[in-house]
A and B are shown apart, each in its own frame.
Chain A
Amino acid sequence: MGGIRNLAKALAVAVGMSSVALPVWAQESVRIGVTMPLTGNLAFDGQNAVNGMEIAVDAVNDAGGILGRKVELVVLDDKSNPEEGVNAVKRLIADEKVHALATAMTSSVGLAQVDATAGRILHVVVMASAPAITEKGYKNVFRVNTTFASKEQPLLDTIRTRVKSVAMLATNDDYGRGVVDMYKKAWEGDGPKIISEGFVQMNETDLLPYLTRIKFDQPEGLMLSLMSSQLATAMKQAKQIGLNPQVIWTSGGGINPTLLKLGGESVNGLMASDNYVPASTAEANQLFLERLAKRYPDDPAQLYHAVAYDAIMVIAQAMNAAGTADDWQKISEEMHKVSYDSPRGPLTFDEKGQVALEPFLVQVIDGKMVEAK
């Protein structure tokens, strides 16, 4: 019995201490429902996104919360599986009674989820970048990541002028197929000839047969729209087997700290486009980096942190401006008026709820991602 008494004492002390440390919040907290892949091969990226949201929650709470109420996240695992993702958002709405949603790493999950939440709750899609997500006309749906269509534009324009033939290897999902389709449409007629295209499973670890095949086709350009771990492997193996096209690039946003760490020297020269460079000296980014370093010193800042951070920041701003955390229609109106200085630059939404940010070309030089010249 002594053990239980001691435990009770310890708990009483802990409760006493925490009530001293925390400010007193008015009413119940504002709950934001989050789904990200927390298991499976995208778990690392998913966790980074959640960490980005956590520091945004800290920032919002430090500034007085939403309408004087504390903000908290309710995080569920969507396993980057559309079915799990839809179940998760249904649970967040019905059981967890969340006030808004910030969800989805992959396009497959995001596409399925927005159909399930249409007209029910403010839904900010985080990473999923298939253009269709904000093309469905749902008034409650916004997206803080750029679409791959807009992010790919600088690449489409630049690579067209540099090579005459390309091979493409992409992940076999909505995103990978969407990206390849875009190049095909954009280059039809006068663009570089796409001599081969292949789609690999996300969990495939053995890429040598495809790279060997591509080497025999001798393309001038090679696009590898793959996950970081696959991309690092592919770059190493390409160098190893002597597959050296003039240009190797990955789809927009594909260069991140994980890739640089895994790929080492072999990813030098790789091109992509992006609208976030972690090394940016802009004030909003410096503030964001400071917060990240304080709470998650082991996380090198990457796009996932920044985009997820923005999701929470815009929700907070719109709810404060609307004066409500419950009426999604009012909040949505305010979302369109949001003007916020994000780590990625000044951020606004267009009439479809799509974030408007200008992408630019980036390249790996000496192991670092820099703006390409």
Chain B
Amino acid sequence: MPPLDLVLQLIALGLMTGAGYALLALGLTLVFGIMRLINFAHGEFYMLGAFATQLLCVHMGMSYLVAVPLAALGVGVIGYLISLVVIAPLTRQHETAMLLATLGLAYLLMEGVQILLSGEPRNIPTPFQGSIFFLGPIFFTGQQLLTFGLCLTTSLLAAWYVEFTPGGRLMKAVAQNRIGAAVCGINLKAIYNWTFAIGCVLAALAGATLGANSAIYPSIGQHMVIKVFIVLILGGMGSIPGAIAGGLALGLVEALGGGLLSVEYRDGFGYLLLVLTLLLRPQGFFGAGVK
């Protein structure tokens, strides 16, 4: 039997990492729920968020807490422009056209950063990385608590926005029936651009916080996007509570599996959970039933 303290610590670590996954999955699930688009470039916006934060901190001398929202906003603007130029014009094409466009976009962004800034790994200088807090025998790093808090607030904000604001209702209308919404005079392209930009802001926030736990380099998004695809399928595509639950579940399974059973099969435990979910509840924890 592994010591209880170890198990508790691993659970804490899993929940913290899971919150990061959830934050990243939130943007992806929003874009999927409303635009019916699987955004393959989502990981690259995570990477952009991390790099933008790093550049603002190191080259502009900003403090980390100022740089994070600025970077997220900047990536949101980039996302809006990309949607305006690349994604929205494809709305009348078959759905796969948008999907393929995001795949191309992913490589363009990754290679672009590689060429412009080099592939040299770099650190995001965060004041929270060095700090550590204890709850009984269990530790949390400051950076983990920040990510966790940010995940909690942004997911509540996102849920509130979609449910209770006029803009959110427009989004919901498009999600429920895009042709119906268009007939009622809703500007589909405007909603798409807006949604895509919000998705990018959320990805960038995840990159700025989760990315600061380790070194960043242009291909970090590729690894993360696979993880959040798993999160989405676990939680249910397009569901906000699903993204949270899926993220936490994946974080937990990875930490416990990797820490107690086998390091090398850590990713495997995530896939195992994925396969089990697909077998037992294919619509995910919070997904609507299969029509």
- Give residues in A with beta carbon < 8 Å to B: 39-41, 43-44, 47, 169, 172, 198-201, 203-210, 212-213, 216, 228-230, 232-233, 236, 240-241, 258, 262
Contact = CB atoms under 8 A, between A and B. Distances in A.
B119 A229 contact: no
Contacts of A198: 262-264
Contacts of A241: 132, 139
Contacts of A216: 2-3, 5-6
Contacts of B9: 212
Contacts of B141: 240
Contacts of B254: 206, 209
B119 A43 contact: yes
B223 A203 contact: yes
B283 interface: no
A-B complex: 4 closest residue pairs judged by Cβ atoms:
A198-B263, A43-B119, A229-B215, A229-B121
A188 B123 CA distance: 39
- Name the residue among B121, B139, B262 with the largest chain A CB count within 10 angstroms: B121
A39 B115 CA distance: 10
Given A241-B139, A262-B121, A209 B217 contact: no
Contact of A44 (B119, B132, B266): B119
A39 B258 CA distance: 28
Contacts of A230: 214-215
B253 to A, nearest CB: 11
Contacts of A207: 214
A209 B3 CA distance: 14
Interface residues of B, number: 42
Contacts of B154: none
B129 interface: yes
A199 B219 CA distance: 21
Contacts of A212: 6, 9-10, 13, 259
B41 interface: no
B267 A43 contact: no
A230 B258 CA distance: 16
A200 B263 contact: yes
Contacts of A200: 263-264, 266
A206 B209 CA distance: 13
Contacts of B262: 198
A368 to B, nearest CB: 19
Contacts of A210: 258-259, 263
Given A47-B118, A199-B264, 13 more contacts: A43-B218, A201-B266, A203-B223, A205-B214, A205-B220, A206-B214, A208-B13, A209-B258, A210-B259, A212-B6, A232-B123, A236-B129, A258-B121
Interface centre among B6, B217, B219, B263 (most CB of A within 10 A): B263
B208 to A, nearest CB: 14
B277 interface: no
Contacts of B132: 240-241
Given A198-B264, A199-B264, A236-B129, A209 B119 contact: no
A357 to B, nearest CB: 27
Interface string B167-200: 0000000000000000000000000000000000
Nearest to A234: B214
A47 B9 CA distance: 40
B255 interface: yes
A110 to B, nearest CB: 20
Contacts of B220: 41, 203, 205
Interface in B186-244: 213-215, 217-220, 222-223
A299 to B, nearest CB: 10
A233 B215 contact: yes
Given A39-B111, A204-B266, A233-B215, A209 B223 contact: no
B130 A240 contact: yes
Nearest to B263: A198
Contacts of A233: 213-215
Nearest to A45: B119
A201 B118 CA distance: 23
Nearest to B14: A209
A234 to B, nearest CB: 9
